Amino acid sequence: MTLNVAIAGLGAIGLRLARMLDDGLVEGVTLSAVSANDLERAGQRVAGLKCKPKVVTLRELPGHADVIVECAPARVFAEVAGPTVAQGRIFMPLSVGALLDHLDLVEEARQTGARIIVPTGALIGLDTVRAMAVGEIHEVRLETRKPPAGLEGAPYLVENAIDISNLTEAKRVFTGNARAAAKAFPANVNVAAALALAGIGPDLTKVEVWADPAVNRNHQTVTIRSDIWAPAGNGTGDWLLSTRYGGGQATSESVYDVRGNLVRRTRPDGSVTEPISPAALKRLWQSQGLRLGRTGR
């Protein structure tokens, strides 16, 4: 089965994708149509392709393809997404941040049979986030570090007169949730939107953006905290709280009795902490040959 693909936007990414499809680098896929704000220029940009895709308006794309890949500026997102979902096509947006303001499309897609496929972009391991989200996630935090040049002109920096020129050390320029980050940096933090959609949502996902002159490419660090309560299984009625970060093993485990008192805590390094009564502490102190103060005599 061959899928017909249409591309909305022929900037650096869209045009490169068009050439890859034209060269047959993706098996079972044919480039059938393209669009951009300037249709005449779009026609000129694809004139040299072997497949000769149709050049149509953004709203007309779903009528010519099974899959619509959105590579256009975020301001025309709805013009591409609306007709695509309404006609039950497969929609792959690169302006993922813009999707956060159009989450009604998700419900509409269920009604029309459309599929919205969010690319992971610069993040790997989103499958882990989705798997953890089946349980209970208490915190998702993204720290993104970019070369200062990669953030220049971002709306948030301009509106708040934040100067990132001539930096000699990293500067945090934004702290907030993923929804706010997508609006503040519409061309820079689509990864935050993808992470939010895979996890606990755009309003609860925390984001920090740093301009860092020490890096020459984007760096993304994701921290996920998930707390899981379960019976301790020691026959005493105690409960075990496991705190996990990422998709790995429990990083710490705490056992509580039925009254909510801490019984034992095991830290990631294997060290164990247990509460101790004053009398037991005194005996332990004396067993080590240590002198007690005057109040302990």
Choice between 295 and 196, residue whose per-residue pLDDT is larger: 196
The backbone region for 52, taken as left when phi is positive above 0, alpha when psi lies in -120 to 50, beta otherwise, is left
Q: Domain limits of the chain?
A: 3-116, 126-223, 227-271
8 A C-beta contact, residue 80 and residue 8? yes
Strand partners, 131: none
Topology, domain 3-116:
Rossmann fold (3.40.50)
What is the pLDDT of the chain when averaged over all its residues? 87
Report CA dihedral (58, 61, 66, 69) to the nearest 10 degrees.
Answer: -30
Strand partners, 139: 225
99-131 pLDDT, tens digit per residue, is 988 999 999 999 999 999 988 766 666 666 665
32-55 pLDDT, tens digit per residue, is 999 999 999 999 999 999 989 999
The maximal CA–CA distance of the chain, rounded, in angstroms, is: 95
| Other beta carbons less than 10 A from residue 22's beta carbon | 17
8 A C-beta contact, residue 224 and residue 198? no
Query: Is pLDDT at 135 greater than 80 in this prediction?
Result: no
8 A C-beta contact, residue 89 and residue 65? yes
**DSSP string computed for 4-44:** EEEEE--SHHHHHHHHHHHTT-STTEEEEEEE-SSHHHHHH
Q: What is the edge-to-edge ordering of all strands in the sheet holding 67-70?
A: 54-55, 29-35, 3-8, 67-70, 90-93, 115-116
CATH number, domain 126-223: 3.30.360.10
